[in-house]
Amino acid sequence: MRRLLVLVMTAAALWAGWWLVASRSLEGALTAWFEARRAEGWQAEYSTLGVRGFPNRLDTTITDLALADPETGLGWNASFFQILSLSYKPNHVIAVWPDEQLLFTPKEKIAVTAGKMQASVVFKPDTALELDRTSFELEGFRLASDRGWWAEFPTARLASRAVPARTDVQEIAFSATEMRPSADLIALLGDTGLPEVFEALRLDAEFGFDAPWDRRAIEQRRPQITSVKLRMLEARWGDLELQAAGDLTVDAEGFPEGEIGIRATNWREMLEIGVATGTLPRGMADTLASAFEVLAGLKGNRDTLDVGLSFHRGRVSLGPVPLGPAPRLTIR
């Protein structure tokens, strides 16, 4: 009995010592990370940084967090941020955000509020902290820009997974229901009969990148998109329904090349929404409508349009109608 007691006490002492070393190492590594960012010219401030959870957890809480990258102009402020993990499984963490945050871009400030915002994040077991898979849960989520727009939805899910045996490729899925656009947008649309919420918004895609998503993605540069395999994009809003799928490659300047097939139900109303919101000039809308009437008629259903969104040499066209310069798919 005495030997068993000695064995248990020895094991407990060793475990306590290991936890103390692990917690201090984690705290030291995070502190050094902030110091390194400040040395690079970042704003990287916080009030407190501590690790708790003895004996089986390594739970880190950072308070009054302020990060800003002068090179990209991106910033983030939060009253706290938590990284929670089991002490014997440190590469699997739960990240928890506060109810209110503030995001900065070179063009606007975005207030983020949420009843729940957390993620399960699994890293590959190496010092680079390469991302293996994630799963985000959002409840009561709302974005509000100082430029006047806002959007909210009660629940949403975002997940990613590294594709086995394919370097720097991530599968990404997103789904949200009852997404609510801003009242200003609804007012612009007038008496269209559209409901005040999107019934569904879903994405299933595979993205290739020029570098892995690991700690260097924050410390040095964001990986840039090299390919997009869009398996399915679906949006439903009242009688309007949009579906898209296709493949793109992306060059070093961020310009896509390839075609996305689009199916739009009640496409005329979509054009009118573009005009009402100012995103589509009336002349362009009339030109598109004339071309799409012919294309839809060839398919037999004039209310449903099947057309390709083509990207080539920095230009984009919808069916036979050129739209202008293609967007650049770059991550700041």
Both tokens assigned to 5: 């007691």
262's tokens = 């689009």
Q: Is the peptide bond before 212 cis (omega within 30 degrees of 0)?
A: no
| Per-residue pLDDT tens over the stretch 202-213 | 999 999 999 999
Residue 271's closest CA among 208, 168, 192, 170? 192
pLDDT tens digits along 99-125: 999 999 988 999 999 999 999 999 988
What is the tens place of the pLDDT at every residue in 119-135?
999 998 877 888 999 99
Residue 234 β-bridge partners: 202, 243
Q: Is residue 79 part of a domain?
A: yes
Beta strands in the chain (DSSP E): 43-45, 49-52, 59-69, 74-86, 89-96, 100-104, 109-113, 116-123, 131-145, 150-162, 169-181, 198-209, 225-237, 240-250, 256-265, 304-312, 315-318, 321-325
In contact, 311 and 257? CB cutoff 8 Å? yes
| Alpha helix (H) residue ranges in the chain | 2-39, 183-189, 216-219, 267-276, 282-299
Predicted local distance difference test score (pLDDT) of residue 12: 45
The pLDDT-based confidence of 43 (bands split at 50, 70, 90) is very high
**Could you read off the pLDDT of 279-303 as tens digits, one per residue?**
788 888 888 888 888 878 776 678 8
Residue 15 lies in a domain: yes
> Could you tell me if 145 and 110 are in contact, meaning their C-beta atoms sit under 8 angstroms apart?
yes
In a domain, 46, yes or no: yes
Q: Which residues contact 29 (CB under 8 A, 6 or more apart)?
A: none
Q: Is pLDDT of 190 > 60?
A: no
What digits encode the pLDDT tens for the residues 222-239? Answer: 899 999 999 999 988 888
pLDDT score for 137 = 92
Q: What angle do CA 257, 260, 266 make, to 5 degrees?
A: 145
pTM of the model: 0.83
On whether residue 21 sits in a domain, the answer given is yes
Tokens, residue 183 = 């009242």
Asked whether the beta carbons of 123 and 133 are under 8 A apart, the reply is no
Tell me how many domains the chain contains.
1
The C-alpha angle with vertex 37 and arms to 34 and 41, in degrees rounded to 5, equals 135
Residue 186 has a pLDDT of 63
Question: Is there a domain that residue 50 lies in?
Answer: yes
Q: Quick check: 295 and 307 in contact, CB under 8 A? A: yes
Q: Which domain holds residue 95?
A: 1-106
Q: Is residue 331 part of a domain?
A: no
Reading the block at residue 100, the tokens are 């209110």
Size of the chain, expressed as the number of residues it contains:
332
What one-character DSSP code corresponds to residue 140?
Answer: E
Check whether 253 has a pLDDT greater than 90.
Answer: yes
Task: Say if 71 falls within a structural domain.
Answer: yes
pLDDT at 192: 60
pLDDT in tens, 44-83: 999 999 999 888 889 999 999 999 999 889 999 999 999 9
50 — phi, psi (to 5°)? -145, 155
Q: Which has more confidence, 37 or 293?
A: 37
